[in-house]
Amino acid sequence: MKAEEFKEAFLVLSENEQMSVLRKLLPVFWRTIKGDPKKVREMFSMLSEECGGSMANMISMMEMRGRKGGSCCG
């Protein structure tokens, strides 16, 4: 399935179904990129650009936790 097809199918789902899909996909996605700081920065950059200020604030908080030795995502 191509990205645009997936996006269209995803948007048709209810909010609960969308969350279920994300809960299944995000851990797998994270495991594939977490070893590559460039990919992680790219993902956070994209999220902050696409999702606005609230996402940027959350990303800043996550970055600070990461620097202190904590981790939100394993």
Inter-helix orientation angle 15-33/37-51, to 10°? 150
- 48, 15: one domain: no
User: In which element (H, E) is residue 49 found?
Assistant: helix 37-51
What residues contact residue 34 under an 8 Å CB cut-off, 6+ apart? 40, 73, 74
Q: Does residue 74 carry a pLDDT above 50?
A: no
Pairwise pLDDT comparison (68 vs 45), residue with the higher score: 45
Spatial separation of the C-alpha atoms in residues 62 and 71, rounded to whole Å: 8
Tell me which DSSP letter residue 34 carries: T
- 4, 15: one domain: yes
- 66, 52: one domain: yes
- 5, 22: one domain: yes
- 41, 72: one domain: yes
Q: Does residue 72 carry a pLDDT above 60?
A: no
- The overall average pLDDT reported for the chain is 80
- Host domain of residue 24: 1-33
The predicted pLDDT at position 53 comes to: 65
- 73, 41: one domain: yes
Q: What is the pLDDT confidence band of residue 11, given thresholds at 50, 70 and 90?
A: very high
Percentage of the chain exceeding pLDDT 70: 69
- 74, 40: one domain: yes
- 26, 40: one domain: no
The predicted pLDDT at position 61 comes to: 65
